[in-house]
């Protein structure tokens, strides 16, 4: 099962930084994660960048059981 890694605000909304989420595409993983983690999590998805195994990806990118999907919201600092 793909591993979903979460950072910053999406991590807080999900209550975890890492989870095994079923799916064969980024879209399925995100949809299943949204069902598991709720509306506060789902509302943040549109602002996130998606990476699969360290490479920029889109929602139609295929994923396998050993892949890592990362959601990265914009962050600021100073």
Q: What is the pLDDT, as a whole number, of residue 44?
A: 96
Q: Is residue 23 part of a domain?
A: yes
**Cα radius of gyration (the chain):** 11
Q: What is the pLDDT, as a whole number, of residue 75?
A: 77
Q: Is residue 64 part of a domain?
A: yes
Q: Is residue 78 part of a domain?
A: no
Q: What is the pLDDT, as a whole number, of residue 24?
A: 98
Domain that holds residue 56: 3-72
CATH classification of the domain holding 27: 3.10.20.30
Domain count, the chain: 1
77, pLDDT greater than 90: no
At 21-64, the pLDDT tens digits run: 999 999 999 999 999 999 999 999 999 999 999 999 999 999 99
Q: What is the pLDDT, as a whole number, of residue 55?
A: 97
Q: Is residue 17 part of a domain?
A: yes
Q: Is residue 77 part of a domain?
A: no
């Amino acid at each position: 099962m793909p591993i979903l890694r979460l950072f910053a605000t999406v991590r807080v909304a999900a209550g975890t930084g890492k989870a095994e989420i079923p799916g064969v595409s980024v879209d399925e993983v995100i949809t299943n994660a949204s069902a598991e983690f709720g509306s506060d999590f789902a509302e943040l998805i549109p602002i996130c960048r998606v990476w699969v195994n360290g490479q920029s990806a889109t929602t139609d990118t295929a994923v396998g059981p050993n892949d890592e999907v990362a959601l990265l919201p914009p962050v600021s600092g100073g």
